[in-house]
Amino acid sequence: MGVIDSGCGIRQFRPRSTRTSDLKGRSIMSSQSNAPLKTILLLDAATCLLMGLLLATASGFVCSITALPQTLLFCAGILLLPIGLFMAATAIWWPGSAAAVWLIIVGNAAG
């Protein structure tokens, strides 16, 4: 809680903001409030990387189960790997980047 003195002896108690500003003045969330977001992004990255590895290494087996072309499954698996790495990087190094988080949200919604 922050104390604000209006100058006439009246003090107001207001909660401190969880937002801070970066060097360019953009508002970013503090790392404390990003803990749930970081966990979700890491889980999303892990599932993306695991599915990418599965499709890239076992596309023949998955092809026999799903009747989808093996080349399609292999290429999808290869494409999932950098996407999963981007999600992990966002969770670890850029959790306050609204643009990166929204890109992941839109990508998940489209897929």
| Per-run averaged pLDDT (10 residues), the chain, 111 residues | 54 51 52 79 97 96 95 97 96 89 94 77
Other CB atoms within a 10 A radius of the CB of residue 2 amount to 9
CA 69 to chain centre: 30
Position 94 scores a pLDDT of: 86
Which residues have CB under 8 Å from 58's CB, separation 6+? none
- Residue 2's φ and ψ, nearest 5 degrees, are -105, 145
Number of H helices, E strands in the chain: 4, 4
Res 111: pLDDT? 77
